[in-house]
């Protein structure tokens, strides 16, 4: 199913904000929309959050592969305001896009920067969408780069999927020289959701409680952008 991020955020707002939680969290209420969207994969989505912490990284990867055919298909999960904010705040020459997916962002940046895309598996569309861009197969919790390798590190719509957010954040900061940009969806936590997210940030402070750095940076920038939480920490003046 093809659905733009901006339109998906409108649907999510209606479901998560306007439907009473007692209904939104009821399996019987969500059964029909899940069947409509996911067909015979519905049970995987119904049980994923309950089983998540018992699954190995390999088993989680297999779940994503098993359900790939029913995921919403779009070039990027970023909305238009988030894309503009990222472009306006990239600094330096060497840029790393962690969990680069189909290569949408790397393609935008590659003409003006030395860009590397990293993900746990190379998407089939990456080379088509982002030709002549370096790609490295890597896990966000174990990035194969030296300390301070990149002037700007970008990570979008990824941490909500990661079992060990603390280690992921440590790795992003370790390989980042001076400018880190993170985006996560602003989303309420429900038992049954139309994605495989396991972490939810309904308010900005929910994310800041996890992400806010212990060290002092020259710049901390946070903003809500049409359903996305934008977070940036930088040593740049």
Residue pLDDT tens, the chain, 237 long: 555 666 666 777 788 888 999 999 999 999 998 898 889 999 998 998 888 888 887 888 888 888 877 765 667 889 899 999 999 999 999 999 999 988 999 999 999 999 999 998 888 888 888 888 999 999 999 999 999 999 999 999 999 999 899 999 999 999 999 999 999 999 999 998 888 899 999 999 999 999 998 888 888 999 999 889 999 999 865
- The C-alpha atoms of residue 203 and residue 184 are separated, in whole angstroms, by 11
Q: pTM of the entire structure? A: 0.90
Q: What is the pLDDT of residue 93?
A: 96
The boundaries of every CATH 3.40.50.150 domain in the chain are 80-234
Q: What is the pLDDT of residue 132?
A: 84
Sorted by sequence, the CB contacts under 8 Å of residue 206 that are 6+ apart come out as 200
Annotate 212-224 with b (16+ C-beta within 10 A) or e (fewer). Answer: eeeeeeeeeebee
Q: What is the pLDDT of residue 15?
A: 80
Report CA-CA distances (Å) from 1 to 36, 39, 44, 132, 180.
11, 12, 18, 28, 32
- The C-alpha atoms of residue 44 and residue 153 are separated, in whole angstroms, by 33
Record the tokens describing residue 109, joined without a space: 């940046």
Beta strands in the chain (DSSP E): 94-98, 114-119, 134-137, 150-156, 176-185, 219-225, 228-234
Q: What is the pLDDT of residue 217?
A: 86
Q: Which of 67, 75, 158, 194 is nearest to 169 (CA)?
A: 158
- Work out whether the CA dihedral 123, 125, 126, 132 comes out positive or negative: positive
Whether domain 80-234 has CATH 3.40.50.150: the reply is: yes
Q: Which of 160, 211, 208 is nearest to 188 (CA)?
A: 160
Q: What is the pLDDT of residue 77?
A: 85
DSSP-derived letter for residue 99 is T
CB 45 within 8 A of CB 67: yes
Q: What is the pLDDT of residue 94?
A: 97
Task: Tell how far CA 188 is from the center of its chain.
Answer: 15
Q: What is the pLDDT of residue 54?
A: 87
CB 199 within 8 A of CB 211: no
Give the CA dihedral 75, 77, 80, 85, nearest 10 degrees: -120
Q: What is the pLDDT of residue 84?
A: 96
């Amino acid at each position: 199913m093809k659905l733009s991020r901006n339109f998906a955020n409108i649907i999510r707002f209606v479901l998560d904000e306007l439907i009473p939680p007692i209904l939104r969290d009821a399996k019987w209420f969500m059964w029909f929309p899940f069947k409509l969207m996911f067909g015979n994969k519905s049970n995987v989505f119904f049980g994923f959050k309950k089983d998540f912490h018992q699954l190995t990284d390999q088993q989680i990867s297999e779940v994503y592969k098993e359900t790939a055919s029913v995921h919403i298909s779009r070039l990027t999960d970023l909305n238009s305001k988030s894309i503009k904010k990222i472009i306006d705040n990239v600094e330096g020459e060497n840029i790393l896009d962690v969990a680069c997916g189909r290569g949408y962002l790397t393609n935008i940046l590659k003409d003006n920067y030395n860009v590397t895309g990293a993900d746990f598996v190379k998407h089939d569309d990456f080379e088509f969408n982002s030709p002549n861009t370096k790609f490295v197969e890597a896990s966000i919790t174990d990035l194969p780069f030296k300390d301070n390798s990149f002037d700007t590190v970008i990570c979008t719509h990824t941490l909500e999927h990661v079992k060990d957010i603390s280690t992921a954040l440590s790795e992003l900061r370790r390989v980042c020289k001076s400018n880190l940009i993170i985006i996560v969806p602003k989303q309420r936590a429900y038992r049954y959701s139309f994605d495989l997210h396991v972490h939810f940030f309904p308010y900005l402070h929910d994310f800041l409680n996890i992400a806010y750095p212990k060290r002092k940076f020259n710049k901390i920038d946070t903003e809500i952008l049409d359903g996305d939480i934008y977070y940036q920490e930088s040593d740049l003046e």
